[in-house]
Structure 1
Amino acid sequence: MPPAPASRHRTGRRTHGLLAAAEGLATAAALTAALPADAHDGGGHGHRPGRYQDVQLLSFNDLHGNLESPSGSSGRITELQPDGTTRTVDAGGAEYLATHLRQARAGHPYSVTAAGGDMVGASPLLSGLFHDEPTIEALGKLKLDVTTVGNHEFDEGARELARLQNGGCHPTDGCYTGKRFKGAGFPYLAANVQDEKTGKPILKPYWVWKKKDVRIGFIGVTLEGTPDIVSADGVKGVAFKDEVETINKYAKVLQRQGVRSIVALIHEGGFPASGAYNYDCDSPGAGAGISGPIVDIAKNVTPAVDALVTGHTHAAYVCTVPDPAGRPRMVTSAASFGRLYTDTTLTYDRRTGDIARTAVRSANHVVTRDVPKAADMTDLISRWNALAAPIGNRPIGYISADIDNTGDESPMGDLIADAQLAHGKELDPRTSLALMNPGGVRSGLTYRAKGAEGDGVVTYAEGFTVQPFANTVNLQDFTGAQLVQVLKEQVSGANAAAPKILQPSAGLTYTLDLTRSGADRVVTDSVRLDGHPVDPAATYRVATNSFLAGGGDGFPTLAQGTNDLVGEDDLAALGTYLTAHSSATSPLAPPAADRITVVQ
């Protein structure tokens, strides 16, 4: 079963050689073919440019405001070794990403940097507390040239996205540094996001990179299903159109303008068969090792598009998926959180103005932490940390070991569900259980101290990283039959292809049988609450976050609850639980994550 996309969840916001061969280049297959003798760029040394010009395309995706090096599993990448084993490598951090990108650009006068969306949103406190202005500033220092919007760019709605693009101080919180926020110095593209009143894109649909006589067009789209995974307020007044139809439409527009080299930036992705960043997903054939929505998109986007930079699923891959004409075309994704970047060579044919597709080659590279930190990025992080410290450094609990956010059922997910159940019981003692959507759990908690707080101390900033959304804890009544139906919706309907396993509070148990198909994978007779079978006719009081309570993430039955009661902020509920259940002398142990019995 493929993992649920890490970024598919409701969002709302809370204000408050160094590139060594050991990186195991994911050479998903350079599409090499002999070029004519004049293939070299010929530029420089006073010579006329040759017919072919190599253009370096650097790309990354799903940064999510991770300026500081991510901790725990969020800051590691899996690498496939020559002997078939795997190892994990510490990776990520804007200070290191900046150094790697700058080193990669050395010796490449024709270089453009693009991103696949979700640069902001679901961000750690350092960025999220300031409405992601620190990340926009950092992206400028990273020399990002262009990005598409992702679903998280709509966390605070289209108006706030426009502010991030165009500048201006926040309408509620004002200016944080005493200066007017300048906005992004690069274009956000939103070709398939239309104003419902005008029918026009809310931001630029495409952008053309130019270097002397070389021109490459970029078209940016996000997944059509964004309204299903973002709060209603976040997408109010805008409509999301089909990705393929939109890209094909604007490819024709670019061609009419004489631009024949085109790259699509698509915030939608796939699931490679291996979690290793350097896995060959072209084995045994082109694109054979990848599944998911991006495959159908890649197979149907017009052959006029020469490469696809993707994202959203937080996966790493460099594949060649045949276009509608049967020609191989590069499709890439660089995991998430700045742990990887992709280096793609596009060979531009000056005679045709197009990319010589047979000469495209690409590889993912690890953003290792064994390179010098970029001083300007260190300064940026220090400046914003000074503003965040009074809030972020406050202790909210203590843990005895890492609480991981991995697996279908994670210890971190269970902990959040337990916290929401406890908060629900405070609001209404009849509350029976809580359910937490996995995509809303953004990170685990690490035992090792990040700063001066000491090992095992959980700070507000760390809690914010886990739950950066302004969801409330809501209570609703459901029948037992509805409760079982909710569990079945984890693996059916909108979630059939990419199941979303809700994280259960203590006392709720059941069997997930992956040898079955569809809704039957949740074994009805196995569903128990405090050891007793769920009564289809009985009424159960259920705590969820406000996104799930509205039917988000493909759970329509959760929108049918009755007797609604709105509680407090979900992060506050987590902090209250940690404070009540842990101390310096009696830290909280990780939940066992044994509430769901998985049959493979």
Structure 2
Amino acid sequence: MIASAVAVAFTAGVFAASTPAASGGTAHNDTGRHHSGGDNRTVDLQLLAINDFHGNLEPPQGSSGEVTELDPATGTTKAVKAGGVEYLATSLRNARNGNKNSITVAAGDMVGASPLLSGLFHDEPTIEALNKVGLDVAGVGNHEFDEGAAELLRLEKGGCHPVDGCYTEGREFKGADFPLLAANVLSEKTKRPILAPYWIEERQGVKVGFVGVTLEGTPNIVTAEGVKGLEFRDEVETINTYTRALKKQGVKAIVALVHEGGLPASSAYNYDCDGTPNGISGPIVDIAKGIDPEVDAVITGHTHQAYVCTIPDPSGRPRMVTSASSFGRLYTDLDMRYDRRTGDIVRTSVKAANHVVVRTQAATDLTQLLTDWKKLADPVANRPFGYITADIDGRRSTAYEKPLGNVIADAQLEGLAPADKGGAQLAFMNPGGIRGDLVHAASGNEGNGVVTYGEAFAVQPFTNMMNVMDLTGAQILTVLQQQVSGVNAASIKILQVSKGLTYTLDLTKTGADRIVADSVRLNGAPLAPAATYRVAMNEFLGGGGDGFPVFRDEGKNKLVGPSDLDLFTAYLAAHSSAASPLAPPAQDRITVVQ
């Protein structure tokens, strides 16, 4: 089923991308602003960029709805409320004023891991919102594959969901008004890109080519079912290949949309990257250094960070590399000049800055769109499922052992412990799968301390199916060691563990030795290397995701259970009430030595 769908998508994508007249997007009949006296040699061009929106249509809550702003005069920082698609639309529309040659782009993860208002409807509301926002072209990210290639193609091309159908009688989902680019995502069967690899936007004779790629490691962070039948190729090699293809068509102004990112030296969105020692690090640095010098700017994402930096291209010339944080809290404004004689961007003219999506003026058409979808979602979203005494931090927690991670792991253990449910003795949860926090303050009319289904969904939006499998004590120890070794050696990933499992993480050591082997206990007893234990995890981890191949390669007698969200909401219902709310759990399972 997926193979036939991707073949159709490739045919359409190549036709559009290789035929400039057909792929120019929306042409604007204007002349723009010109420079160089009366010869009209250069024309101003604006790019507006966003990334990692993740279906955050409503203003994100808590720290997820804030950005850190630096006061350059004093060096102090403050938190600024930001985000919400109604305000994003206004911000982008205002930014386009006076910039007649403006193109709006995105660098992936616009959907997936979305709050309930979008996720409940398979992100159709987000695509409709982005159409209204005026998105011209988007690269894909890893989360665009959460529901598989066929569903990604539906989001672009339209049509009602194959299982849920149409959400409003007589109204069929029309799909995206903008192309989705996936140059390095190929069908294993055809060896061709499943979507258009590049796209050409034209503004009154000014042609700009866009190449879109996601990170090569997408299969490591998406469920096996989500990437079934696909292969992901090297980002740099792919961008360089299609840069050459664009040049053969006479397109010299080229921008790369890369869903891979960096780690800035400051958390402030407006820090001076080039004026800060080691202003940016991470995977994007080497990627940017390898991308063809003919590419004029690199717009990135994935790490949910904010930066505007220059990184030298292979010829040594500075090149702009940007990211606009996440959740629609920021947008990047890149201004540059296009030289009509050379047909290229004047590299030295490229300037960029990140701007806050302030919550001051809502776009009424987006407000109406949200109102329409909320009417469908509210009966489900507003149902109370639990009660808490205080915030239980997950996503915003910087600790290796996150309070909400403990709750989720305990919920999975409890739900799968009965013999007829899998007989689980312990559970592991990947930290990246915790997409939010449980906030005590009311976000609607439900009252303080009430956890609604919508809030629970925001924490566990993937609805991954649970797995229970046999692992030996020795294999469980290897899982713990894979948190700090192998692909996770440089950037460790500490799994959340269920109650009863304890161990020591010694950060003064290196590699696998960071896990103190003789400290690992299950219910107070040392793990027996040869003994068999029943272990629960979601299907993402079960497929080897996040660099834990032991689950995929060594697990035996696997049982597939209910979804992680079902277990989470059941646990909240069973362990909390208005009279006896759930308190944040103690963080006493992982002892950290630093």
TM-score > 0.5, shorter chain as reference: yes
CA offset at residue 506 of structure 1? 1.9
Provide the rounded CA distance (Å) in 2 between the counterparts of 1:48 and 1:452.
61
Task: State the identity as a percent.
Answer: 65
| Equivalent in the alignment of 1:29 | none
CA offset at residue 60 of structure 1? 0.7
| Equivalent in the alignment of 2:231 | 239
Provide the rounded CA distance (Å) in 1 between the counterparts of 2:35 and 2:336.
16
1:555 aligns with 2:548: yes
| Equivalent in the alignment of 2:532 | 539
CA offset at residue 108 of structure 1? 1.0
| Equivalent in the alignment of 2:377 | 388
Provide the rounded CA distance (Å) in 2 between the counterparts of 1:281 and 1:597.
36
CA displacement, residues 339-382 of structure 1 (integer Å, 9 cap, x when unaligned): 1111111221222111111121111112122x111111111111
Provide the rounded CA distance (Å) in 2 between the counterparts of 1:123 and 1:106.
30
1:416 aligns with 2:408: yes
Which of 54, 62, 66 is residue 72 of structure 1 equivalent to? Answer: 62
CA offset at residue 173 of structure 1? 1.5
Provide the rounded CA distance (Å) in 1 between the counterparts of 2:330 and 2:173.
29
SS of structure 1 residue aligned to 2:380: helix
| Equivalent in the alignment of 1:340 | 330
Pairs within 5 Å for 1:158-307: 158-177=149-168, 178-284=170-276, 288-307=278-297
Cα 1:105/1:49, change in 2 over 3 Å: farther
CA offset at residue 260 of structure 1? 0.7
Give the RMSD, CA atoms, in angstroms: 1.9
1:140 aligns with 2:131: yes
CA displacement, residues 567-600 of structure 1 (integer Å, 9 cap, x when unaligned): 2111110111101111011111112334223333
1:431 aligns with 2:389: no
CA offset at residue 283 of structure 1? 3.8
Cα 1:324/1:507, change in 2 over 3 Å: same
Provide the rounded CA distance (Å) in 1 between the counterparts of 2:524 and 2:188.
50
CA offset at residue 430 of structure 1? 5.3
Counterpart of 1:589, as a letter, is A
Which of 309, 313, 316 is residue 319 of structure 1 equivalent to? Answer: 309
| Equivalent in the alignment of 2:465 | 472
| Equivalent in the alignment of 2:7 | none
SS of structure 2 residue aligned to 1:162: helix
Contact 1:41/1:51 (<8 A) preserved:
no
CA offset at residue 221 of structure 1? 0.7
Pairs within 5 Å for 1:374-523: 374-405=363-394, 406-407=397-398, 408-427=400-419, 431-523=424-516
Provide the rounded CA distance (Å) in 1 between the counterparts of 2:228 and 2:555.
23
Counterpart of 1:261, as a letter, is A
Provide the rounded CA distance (Å) in 1 between the counterparts of 2:84 and 2:357.
8
Contact 1:396/1:578 (<8 A) preserved:
yes
Cα 1:280/1:426, change in 2 over 3 Å: farther
Contact 1:72/1:445 (<8 A) preserved:
no
Provide the rounded CA distance (Å) in 1 between the counterparts of 2:558 and 2:456.
26
Contact 1:120/1:153 (<8 A) preserved:
yes
SS of structure 2 residue aligned to 1:224: coil
CA offset at residue 456 of structure 1? 1.0
| Equivalent in the alignment of 2:144 | 153
Contact 1:73/1:404 (<8 A) preserved:
no
CA offset at residue 313 of structure 1? 1.3
CA displacement, residues 206-251 of structure 1 (integer Å, 9 cap, x when unaligned): 1111111211110001111112221222122222111111100110
**Corresponding residue pairs, total:** 556
Provide the rounded CA distance (Å) in 1 between the counterparts of 2:62 and 2:39.
48
Contact 2:224/2:543 (<8 A) preserved:
no
Which of 91, 98, 105 is residue 114 of structure 1 equivalent to? Answer: 105
1:574 aligns with 2:564: no
CA displacement, residues 81-102 of structure 1 (integer Å, 9 cap, x when unaligned): 3333432222111111111111
Counterpart of 2:246, as a letter, is L
Counterpart of 1:413, as a letter, is G
Out of 75-84 and 581-590, give the one that drifted further: 75-84
| Equivalent in the alignment of 2:26 | none
Which of 570, 582, 593 is residue 587 of structure 2 equivalent to? Answer: 593
CA displacement, residues 393-440 of structure 1 (integer Å, 9 cap, x when unaligned): 111101111111222322111110111111122346953321100111
Counterpart of 2:491, as a letter, is A
Counterpart of 1:99, as a letter, is T
Bigger relative contact order (CA 8 A; separation at least 6): 1
CA offset at residue 175 of structure 1? 1.2
Out of 341-350 and 111-120, give the one that drifted further: 341-350
User: What TM-score, normalized to structure 2?
Assistant: 0.90
